[in-house]
Structure 1
Amino acid sequence: MSYRVLKRKLHIQAAPTRSIVAKNLGHHQLSDVPYAQQPLFNALGQPPTLLEVNAPPSFPVVLQSSKLISLSNIATTRLTPYISLKNLVLWKPWRFLTLESTTPVSLLVTGQSLSVLTLDGSTDYVLFPRDSLLAYAGAALRLGAVRRVKGLPGFEYTLLQGRGEAVVQADGEVHKLVLDSEDEVIVSKKALVAINVQGEVDCIEPWTLTKTQVEQSQSQDVVKTNDWKHYLQQALNTLNHIKRSLLNVVSGANEYVKVKGPRTVLIQANSSTSPLFELDTENKSIRITESKLEDYASFQSQDSRDYLHYVTVQNGEVKFTSTPDFKATVDKIAKKSG
C-alpha cells in the first residue's frame, strides 16, 4: 500500500463562529434589511457554547426546540414545530421548531462547542453526528435524509445543500482543517464534525491499521525435547496471538477514515481516547512479559557448565573449574567415605 508524502504542513485554524454580515441567504437579500447588518448567527464564549441569533423580519430560522433559552419581541414572533414529511422519522422533527417574526428578533440558544457553516450554493456539507445540527436558516438551504458512507457500515451522515447558514455543535472545540488537492489525511471517525463536498460523498474511504505479521520463531519447527520449552513456546505464541487480536480489533472496528482533498474538514479536539494509544499501553505490557519469558528461556537453554564452577586449593594454588554438575565430585567423596 502506498501513500502520498505531504510536502507542506497541514493548514489548521479555528472554525468560524459567526455569520458573514450582509449576504444573500436564499431568496432574502439581507443587505437590504438594516437589522441584518448584525451577523445572523454569532457564537459566544470560549469555547463558544452560547448562540446569539439576530433574525430580520419574515426570515424563518430552524433550531432545536430544547435549546432555546431567551427570546425578544414575543408578541410579533411565531414558533411552530418544524414539520418535514421526508424527515418525519429520520430527523425527529418534534425536536426542531421554526421561528419567524414580523419584526427583527433576537434570541439565545445554548449548545456545546459551536461552529458556523456558510453555504453559497457552490459546495455542500456533510454532517456526521446526527444531533450535531443546532440551527440553520436560508430559504434555499435543504437538509437531506440520513445516509451511510459507502464501505463504512453504521457510519452515517446528513447532507446539507443550497444557500444559507447552519450552526453545528460538537463535544470538543472545533477546528478547521484545510486540505489541498494532493492532500489526504487519516481522521478518527469520532473526531469528524463536517466535511464540504460537491454532490457525491466520494472523498471518504475506510482505513485500517496495517496488521503486522509476527514472524514465527524457528524454534517452532524444532522437535521440543523438554516439556518446559514446549510450554514456554506456547505462552509466547499466546502473547503473539493476543497482540494480533488487539490490532484486529482496532482495524476491524474501522475507527479511522481517510479523507482526500481538496476540501475543508471540521474536526473536534475532545473526541474520546484513540484506540491507538490504548493499544500502545496493552502492547507495552505484552512486550515486557515477552521479554521476561524470552530471558527465562535463554537462561534455561544455557549449558550448565557456563554457570557451575568450583574452586580447589592444592599446594598453595587456587584453581577454578567449570563443570556441568557435581556428580563426579559426589562420587569421589562417596568412595572415600566408603
Structure 2
Amino acid sequence: MISTKITRPCISLHQLSITRHISINQHPSTAPPATSSTDELTKTTTIPANIQEAKELASYRALETPEFTTLGTPPSVISINSPPSVPVYLRRGSLLSIYGIQEISSLDSVRSNLEFPLFWKRLAYGGFVSGYQKLISTTPFSVLVSSLSRASVGKATPKLFVNLVLDGGADWAVLNKDAIQVYAGNSLNLGLFRLPRYVSKRLARKLRIPGRSLTGLFSWSKIGYTLITGRGNVGLVGNGNVYSLNLNEDEEVLINKNNLLAITVNGPYDLQNCVIKYQFPVKETTSTTPAAKQVIEKPKLLEPNAWGQIVYRANQVSTWVKNAVKFIQKYTIGARETSYNYLVGNQEFIKIVGPRNLLLQSNVQSAYIPPIRRSSKTIEDSGAEVPATSDKKSRDYLNYVTIEPGKGAVFKSTPDFKEKVKEIERN
C-alpha cells in the first residue's frame, strides 16, 4: 500500500515598514525679516504688553444697547460704547474723545447737534438751562466723557461718576440740577416736575403726624426735580464721592437734603410718600408737670351800671393780653427751635422712610475759588551799597571778670583764654 502525502508550501507574510527622516533647522538670524525694513523703521505702534498700568479701551463690541463703563480711581471719566442709531446725550463741554475701528466704524458718520431738553420747564422750575450735545451714528462708535464741563471748571469740589442702569422697574428722582452728565437709550425719558411741599395723607397716617407737615425739599430757589423713567443708561456726577444706601421696609434715615443726590420713586407723585422735614427737638426749661385743667365758669349777668362796665372791659383786656402772650410764646418757641437748628447746622435735615434706594454725595457744591494771580512785578536792585560788617578780632569780644579788693568786679578783654587760665593756675 502506497500512501501519498501532499504538503502545501508555507507562505509567511512580512510587514514592510518605511522610515523617512526629516530634519528641521532653525532659520539663520542673519536672514532678512519677512517685512520690509522700511516698515520696521517707520513703525509707530507697540504691542499692548508694553503699556502697563493703563486700562485698554475697547473700540467696538456687538452691542444692542449702550454700554457705560466708569474709568479711573476715583471715577472721573466714563467710557460709552454705543450701537448704531442710538443717540448719546452728553453735557456741553464734557466730550473728551470719539474713537472706533476703521473697518467697522466710520467717524465721518457721527452727527452732532446741540439741544436744550426741557428748556421752558427748567427755566420755570429751576431758573437754569442745560445744553446737551447729541451724538448719533449709523455705525458703532465709542466716546469718552469727563465729569467736568465748561460750567464746572472753576468749581472747587471735584465731581465723580456713578452709572445707573434703568430696566423699567424703578424710576429715579434726581434732585441735583447739575447731576445728569450723560445718558443714552431710545426708550429713556426725562421729565421735570415740581417738588412736593407737603407730605401725602398716606405718609401722615403712617407716621401719625399732621397732614400739612412739610417735606423739607421745597424752596423758592429750588422748586423742581428731574424724573428719569424707561430703559437706558444714565451717568450721574456728584460733588465728591457718591455712595449708595438701601432702605428696607419701615426703615428710616436722617439725611442732609443737600447731600441727597437721587432717590428711587414710583412715578412723579411718589416723592411725597417717603420724605418729611425733620428738626431736632429743643430741650424745654419749663416744668414738665401736667397743666391744670382749665375751669370754665358760667358767665354771670351783670347789671348795666358803671361798675359792671368797668369789670367787663377789664376782663376783655385780660383776655386780649392772654391771647397775645400765647401767640408770642408760640412763635418765640418756633423761632428758638429754628435758630437752634440753624446754629448747629440741622435746618436742612430730612427723614426718608423705606423701602428706597438712595444716592448720597459726600460734599455740597461750593463757591467759585478764583485762581491765585501771580504778580508780574520783580524786585529790582535799589543800587544802595550794604555797609560791610566790621572785622572784629577775638580780643574785642572775649572778656573775663576778676574780683579785686577795693575795686569789686573788674572786666578785662583777652585775645585767648588759654594764657589767662595758665596765669591763674600759676598763681
TM over 0.5: yes
Aligned counterpart, 2:93: 66
CA distance in 2, matches of 1:56, 1:94: 25
Unaligned runs of 5+ in 2: 1-59, 100-105, 148-158, 198-213, 288-334, 367-427
Change (3 A) 1:263 1:105: same
Which amino acid letter does the alignment assign opposite residue 174 of structure 1? V
Which amino acid letter does the alignment assign opposite residue 270 of structure 1? N
CA distance in 2, matches of 1:212, 1:271: 30
CA distance in 1, matches of 2:226, 2:343: 26
* 1:75 maps onto 2:108 in alignment: yes
Q: Give the Å deviation of 1:261.
A: 0.7
* 1:266 maps onto 2:334 in alignment: no
Which amino acid letter does the alignment assign opposite residue 266 of structure 1? L
CA distance in 2, matches of 1:170, 1:149: 23
Provide the alpha-carbon RMSD of the alignment.
Answer: 3.1
* 1:90 maps onto 2:90 in alignment: no
CA shift digits 1:258-299 (9 cap, x unpaired): 1111111011123489xxxxxxxxxxxxxxxxxxxxxxxxxx
Change (3 A) 1:64 1:184: same
CA distance in 2, matches of 1:252, 1:46: 31
Q: Give the Å deviation of 1:78.
A: 0.5
* 1:143 maps onto 2:179 in alignment: no
Aligned counterpart, 1:128: 175
Normalising by structure 1, we get a TM-score of 0.58
Which amino acid letter does the alignment assign opposite residue 276 of structure 2? E
Unaligned runs of 5+ in 1: 1-32, 217-241, 274-338
- Which of the numbers 81, 98, 101 marks the counterpart of 2:137? 101
Q: Give the Å deviation of 1:248.
A: 4.2
Aligned counterpart, 1:35: 62
Aligned counterpart, 1:161: 229
CA shift digits 1:70-97 (9 cap, x unpaired): 112531100112244x434517666112
Normalising by structure 2, we get a TM-score of 0.46
Aligned counterpart, 2:263: 195
Aligned counterpart, 1:173: 241
Change (3 A) 1:267 1:64: same
CA shift digits 1:127-157 (9 cap, x unpaired): 0110100011111111111421323332542
CA shift digits 1:208-243 (9 cap, x unpaired): 121222349xxxxxxxxxxxxxxxxxxxxxxxxx98
Stretch moving more, 67-76 or 124-133: 67-76
Aligned counterpart, 1:239: none
Aligned counterpart, 2:284: 213
Identity of aligned residues (%): 31
Change (3 A) 1:39 1:141: closer
Q: Give the Å deviation of 1:35.
A: 2.6
Q: Give the Å deviation of 1:36.
A: 2.0
CA distance in 2, matches of 1:34, 1:248: 54
Q: Do the aligned residues in 2 keep the contact of 1:205 with 1:257 (CA within 8 Å)? A: yes
CA distance in 2, matches of 1:244, 1:38: 52
Aligned counterpart, 2:77: 50
Higher-Rg member (1/2): 2
CA distance in 1, matches of 2:283, 2:350: 19
Change (3 A) 1:132 1:250: farther
Change (3 A) 1:272 1:36: same
Q: Give the Å deviation of 1:190.
A: 1.5
CA shift digits 1:94-150 (9 cap, x unpaired): 611211011111111110211011111121000011010001111111111142132
CA distance in 2, matches of 1:101, 1:188: 42
* 1:182 maps onto 2:253 in alignment: no
CA distance in 2, matches of 1:254, 1:243: 12
CA distance in 2, matches of 1:38, 1:165: 9
CA shift digits 1:164-212 (9 cap, x unpaired): 1111101111111011002110011111111111112121111112122
Q: Do the aligned residues in 1 keep the contact of 2:338 with 2:347 (CA within 8 Å)? A: no
Aligned counterpart, 1:204: 275
Aligned counterpart, 2:348: 255
Aligned counterpart, 2:371: none
Which amino acid letter does the alignment assign opposite residue 227 of structure 2? L
Q: Do the aligned residues in 2 keep the contact of 1:182 with 1:261 (CA within 8 Å)? A: yes
Matches within 5 A, 1:275-314: none
Which amino acid letter does the alignment assign opposite residue 281 of structure 2? T
Q: Do the aligned residues in 2 keep the contact of 1:208 with 1:252 (CA within 8 Å)? A: no
Aligned counterpart, 1:297: none
Q: Do the aligned residues in 1 keep the contact of 2:341 with 2:347 (CA within 8 Å)? A: no
CA distance in 1, matches of 2:285, 2:70: 51
Q: Do the aligned residues in 2 keep the contact of 1:114 with 1:168 (CA within 8 Å)? A: yes
